[in-house]
Amino acid sequence: MYAETKDKIETKSREIRTKVLRTLEKKDTQKLSALDTDKKWEVLGFREKEDKYRVVLQEQTSPAVEPVSVWATKGLRKILLECEGFRKQEDIFGRNLFWLVTFDGVAGLGGLELQIAPAKSFWNKEGAKIAWNQIQVLKAPDPGRLAVLQAIGAKCEEYGALLAKTDFQKAAAPANKDTKKTTDLPAGEYIANRFAETTFRKSPRTILFLLPLGEDGEQKTDEETPTHGFFLEKEVAALGGREALEKRKPPLHCWLGEEKTTPNKRKCRRVALA
């Protein structure tokens, strides 16, 4: 029985290796963010060279559909490196090929199953908009490693580093087209951990990176919205200006109220900061 099972595992290994190589030969590698977020994906293998990873994924509900290859994000690379059980082979070009054998009923051969969450975005301290997809690890070859892999997939290191700061952070201002007016957001309660300053038509402008709160007072999303407005600027001045913002401890609470006409005859939401 042992010898028979071992032969079946080796046959399965050759099949998966062939499937991984055949998929990688197609060259039509896509971004991880392009995958359907409603589907579950099994990791068949990947090829690595000089810190670049092309990963082969098989849609779980449609095994007859051809696998796809994607470029690995930093988070996915870390998951692959921390996941045990990959077989490895180096080719004549110095590239390392890895493939994962799955076999029901055999410990350590349970497969690596993922689901890609919808994209989130934030502005880094240089003012660039960063998009990332949380990776939900649903199954691991070694169940004892599942919690570790899930923790890796759930975080974006750069975003986590921003939130770990203890002071209210001053960030680079995003482009005007990437900001919103207070009237673009629904009325309600928000918080901000960061702000930016810029000028628009020779007038100073303060931008708050707002995060909406739910009725329970909990943060509804991780996606910040850089927001400006006439009454928001007035409230910042009342707090002591931008210099006072830099000395505050986050989060800054922001309430967006009803719309009111500004002296320039424009609509803008009333704002309260605390």
pLDDT digits (tens, 9 = 90+) for 86-140: 888 888 888 889 988 877 666 667 789 999 888 777 666 666 667 777 888 998 8
Look at 95-109, 185-199, 200-214 and tell me which has the smallest mean pLDDT. Answer: 95-109
**Paired residues of 199 in beta bridges:** 204
Q: What is the mean pLDDT of residues 17-45?
A: 88
Q: Which residues contact 112 (CB under 8 A, 6 or more apart)?
A: 42, 43, 79, 83, 85, 100, 137, 139, 140, 141, 149
Q: Which of 163, 186, 204 is the last residue of a domain?
A: 163
Domain boundary at 138, 163, 188, which? 163
Same domain, 217 and 253: yes
Residue 5 — φ and ψ, nearest 5°?
-65, -40
Do 13 and 100 belong together in one domain? yes
Are 182 and 50 part of one and the same domain? no
Do 159 and 190 fall into the same domain?
no
Dihedrals phi, psi of 14, to nearest 5 degrees: -65, -40
- Whether residues 158 and 189 fall in one domain: no
Q: What is the DSSP string of 19-40?
A: HHHHHHTT---EEGGGS-TTSE
* 37 pLDDT more than 90: no
Residue 188 shares a structural domain with residue 228: yes
Q: How many distinct structural domains can be found in the chain? A: 2
What distance in Å separates the CA atoms of residue 185 and residue 33, rounded to the nearest whole number? 26
How many Å apart are CA 239 and CA 216, to the nearest integer?
26
The pair of structure tokens assigned to 215 is 């009725």
Q: Give 268's pLDDT tier (boundaries 50, 70, 90).
A: very high
Domain identity same for 177 and 256: yes
Q: Is 189 helix (H, G, I), strand (E, B) or coil?
A: strand
pLDDT band at residue 230 under the 50/70/90 scheme: very high
179 with 98, same domain?
no
pLDDT reading at 207 higher than 90: yes
pLDDT value, residue 107: 63
Distance CA 243, CA 221 (A): 28
Domain C-terminal end among 114, 131, 163:
163
The pLDDT value recorded for residue 164 is 53
Say what percent of the chain tops pLDDT 70: 89
The amino acid present at 189, given as its one-letter code, is E
Same domain, 53 and 151: yes
Q: Torsions phi, psi of 2, nearest 5?
A: -60, -45
Nearest to 16 by CA among 102, 83, 137, 84: 102
CA distances to 63, 227, 228, 231, 258 from 183, rounded to whole Å, are 47, 9, 9, 11, 9
Average pLDDT, the chain: 84
Domain, as residue range, for 55:
2-163
**Domain identity same for 24 and 158:** yes
pLDDT digit string (tens) for 141-162?
A: 888 888 888 888 877 655 555 5
Same domain as 186, residue 117: no
Query: Both 107 and 16 in a single domain?
Result: yes
Identify the CA nearest to 76 among candidates 31, 121, 13: 31
